[in-house]
Amino acid sequence: MATMIVPNSIAFQLSANSLFFLLLIIFCSSCKTTFAFQGTKSKSFHHILHLNSLLQSAACNSSTQGLHHQKSSLQVVHKHGPCSPLHLDRAKTPPTHAETFFQDEGRVRYIQSRLANKSGSKADVKVTDVANLPAKDGRVVGSGNYIVTVGVGTPKKQLSLIFDTGSDITWTQCEPCLGYCYHQRDAKFDPSVSSTYSNVSCNSVQCSSLVSATGHLPLCSLSTCVYRIQYGDSSFSTGFFAKERLTLTPFDVFDNFLFGCGQNNQGLFGGAAGLLGLGRDQLSLPSQTARKYNKIFSYCLPSSSSSIGFLTLGKCRRYGSKSVKFTPLSTSIQDSSFYGLDITGISVGGKRLSISASVFTTAGAIIDSGTVITRLPPDAYAALRSEFRQRMRRYRMGRELSILDTCYDFSKYKSVNIPKISFFFRGGVKLTIPLVGTLYVANVSQVCLAFAANSDASDIAIFGNTQQKTLQVIYDGAGGRVGFGTKGCY
């Protein structure tokens, strides 16, 4: 059933007449070719999706961890699934697809409202008094869905934190939870039994640095600095700003790491103990450990919730390898937290889409570990969808799935051909999205193109975590660039 698009006659001509083939290549090297030589190169323009591979394993495959796992690496797992330490928590059921996308919309709106203000100020997020926000209904949160486990305090306590390239301050729920602590799987951190914990005082420079990291002025309680951070509409954390020993791996132990000891925390953090901030501000983990790692880290998000990825601090083995392609951080993003990218084009099945350059420059773009589905400017998404549908026209379409409007019913097939989608970034970087990042699979009768449109042409584009799966994404804060390598993990 998996047939090739190009008629056999062309394939025959190409192999039978190599001179003609050569002439075609020469001709087309100057014409931004829309010819696709699938006769000889079909594999490079399509993924072949085997439908029996879509059955998700119910057990964690721990042997999948890290093709490029190394010394200063932490395991990265999906929050909901057999590899997650939160998995055994009966109090939590994984969100439905609709809930996942609803939360994703919340995160996107939050990011877009923060970045809508090109002045770079985060202060437009309105939290006048976090401690008095009403107990919420668990609506929007958007704090990503991959977690790592780190050690905090002495003796160290293992805490599972959501990792987030879109925020800076690291925090965990702390006893005695003076305001409110949501249910978490790990025991809550208790600073009173740690010998390395200390409060940060109100008049310190560290306390003042909270303004840019959180977008809120710190408060002061009995001379202890109090941080406040809000994510989206209804999740937040506030508490004492403190220093503590952070143990990432046995080789990576940091004393006096600045973090939030959360006394009032609410949101859909899914049973995680808090959040690990990997943004660009001075309070983020990469910034606080810059002396050792030079603000360099990389991660690989696993292809499914039953496999394991990694977060590596410092230069990974592939850092200087030709298999990693770097694009400079975009200068159009003024916000101090986000990693901006300049998208320059998109191709589908080897064909570069005709999208005016201004479509991408008007919107700008960031890469985010917490947004699930990549959001594109409306014109860019329309072009992508149209070409994808055209190339998929032999397959029966299925029902839409929330924000995903291009879905297929593959229940009658054993394998199907999926056109490859590539993104182009400034610096001549071409990134071909792996198959697992091209489609969002609800089940075999609802397999959807995993991209969505922004509602407004001026909204920022977001390169989301579905599209990053199995890639090794290298953040080089010192070098001002982001790199992509394929086959980072399973």
Ligand X SMILES: *[C@@H]1O[C@H](CO)[C@@H](O)[C@H](O)[C@H]1NC(C)=O
The yes or no reply on residue 315 touching ligand X (CB under 6 A) is no
Q: Could you say whether residue 184 binds ligand X (CB under 6 A)?
A: no
Going by C-alpha positions, the residue among 250, 226, 249, 225 that lies closest to residue 238 is 226
The rounded distance, in Å, linking the Cα atoms of 392 and 353 is 16
Neighbours of 202 (CB within 10 A): 17
Smallest gap from Cβ 79 to ligand X, in A, equals: 19
Q: State both tokens at 121.
A: 């100020």
Stretch that binds ligand X, among 112-120, 140-148, 167-175, 292-300 (CB under 6 A): 112-120
Contacts of 21 (CB under 8 A, 6+ apart): 13, 14, 15, 40
CB of 261 to ligand X, least distance (A): 8
Taking the least distance from each CB to ligand X, the nearer of 425 and 490 is 490
Beta bridge partners of 227: 239
| Burial zone of 416 (CB within 10 Å; 0-12 exposed, 13-18 middle, 19+ buried) | buried
Determine the residue type at 219. Answer: L
Candidate list 119, 128, 132, 195; residue touching ligand X; CB under 6 A: 119
* Among 67-75, 111-119, 205-213, 268-276, the segment contacting ligand X (CB under 6 A): 111-119
Helix, coil or strand: residue 328: strand
Cβ at position 124, least distance to ligand X in Å: 4
Show which residues are catalytic. Answer: 164, 368
* Alpha carbon distance 52, 415 (integer Å): 8
Scanning 57-65, 145-153, 179-187, 321-329 for contacts with ligand X by CB under 6 A, the matching segment is 57-65
# binding residues, ligand X (CB under 6 A): 23
**Which residues in 359-398 contact ligand X (CB under 6 A)?**
none
Q: Which is nearer to ligand X, 21 or 413 (CB)?
A: 413
Judged by CB under 6 A, which stretch of 61-69, 167-175, 363-371, 463-471 contacts ligand X? 61-69
Residue 171 binds ligand X (CB under 6 A): no
Tell me: does residue 55 bind ligand X (CB under 6 A): no
Do the beta carbons of residue 263 and residue 238 sit within 8 Å? yes
Among 45, 146, 197, 410, binds ligand X (CB under 6 A): 197
362 phi and psi angles, rounded to 5 deg:
-65, -40
Closest distance to ligand X from the beta carbon of 242 (Å): 7
Among 50, 124, 155, 321, binds ligand X (CB under 6 A): 124
Q: What is d(CA 30, CA 14) in angstroms, rounded to the nearest whole number? A: 20
* Token representation of residue 205: 């420079």
Q: Which three-class secondary structure state does DSSP give residue 301?
A: coil
Give the count of alpha carbons within 13 A of 173, CB side only. Answer: 27
The least CB distance from residue 21 to ligand X, in Å, is 37
Name the segment binding ligand X (CB under 6 A); options: 32-40, 82-90, 114-122, 150-158: 114-122
Q: Could you say which DSSP state residue 67 is in?
A: T
User: Scanning residues 214 to 233, which ones bind ligand X (CB under 6 A)?
Assistant: 221-222, 224
What angle do the packed helices 38-45 and 8-16 form, to 10 degrees?
110
The binding site for ligand X (CB under 6 A) comprises: 57, 61, 63-64, 97, 116-117, 119, 121, 123-124, 191, 197, 199, 221-222, 224, 240, 442-443, 445-446, 490
